[in-house]
Amino acid sequence: MKTQKTLACALAAVAGLSLTPCASAALLLEWTFDEAAGDALNSGTLGAAADGSVGATAGRVADTPSGSGFAADLTAAGSGSVFSAGDIDIVDGLNTFTLSTWINIQGLNADQGGSSNVRLMSEQGGGSFPGPSWNLNNPNTGDRGVDNVRTALFVGANNGFGAGFQDQMDIDAADQWVFLAVSVDLSVASNNITFYVGDLNSPLAVAGVASTGGIGPVSGDGGANTEFGIGFTSAAPTADTSLNGYQDNVRVWDEALDVDALNRIFVADGGFVPEPASFVLVSLGGLIALRRR
Residue 120 has pLDDT above 80, yes or no: yes
Average pLDDT over residues 283-290: 42
Residue 96 sits in which domain range? 5-276+283-291
Average pLDDT over residues 141-168: 97
Which pLDDT belongs to residue 274? 81
Average pLDDT over residues 152-175: 97
Which pLDDT belongs to residue 24? 84
Residue 14 has pLDDT above 50, yes or no: no
Which pLDDT belongs to residue 19? 35
Residue 278 has pLDDT above 50, yes or no: no
Which pLDDT belongs to residue 22? 53
Neighbours of 134 (CB within 10 A): 26
In this prediction, what percent of the chain has a pLDDT beyond 70?
85
Average pLDDT over residues 39-65: 98
Which pLDDT belongs to residue 287? 42
Q: What is the pLDDT of residues 202-216, one digit of tens each?
A: 999 999 999 999 999
CATH number at residue 211: 2.60.120.200
Query: Which of the residue ranges 12-26, 36-50, 77-91, 271-285 would you say has the lowest mean pLDDT?
Result: 12-26
Q: How far apart are CA 138 and CA 116, in angstroms?
A: 9
> If you average pLDDT over every residue of the chain, what do you get?
89
What is the count of structural domains for the chain?
1
Q: How far apart are CA 100 and CA 42, in angstroms?
A: 15
Residue 18 has pLDDT above 70, yes or no: no
Which pLDDT belongs to residue 290? 36
Residue 289 has pLDDT above 50, yes or no: no
| Predicted confidence band of residue 2 (pLDDT cuts 50, 70, 90) | low
Neighbours of 246 (CB within 10 A): 25
Q: How far apart are CA 237 and CA 228, in angstroms?
A: 11
Would you list the DSSP string of 9-56?
A: HHHHHHHT---HHHHH--EEEEE--TTSSSSBPB-STTGGGG-BEEPT
Average pLDDT over residues 152-163: 96
Q: How far apart are CA 187 and CA 193, in angstroms?
A: 11
Which pLDDT belongs to residue 128? 83
By residue count, the chain amounts to 293
Q: What is the pLDDT of residues 214-257, one digit of tens each?
A: 999 999 776 678 999 999 999 999 999 999 999 999 999 999 99
Residue 148 has pLDDT above 90, yes or no: yes
Average pLDDT over residues 189-197: 98
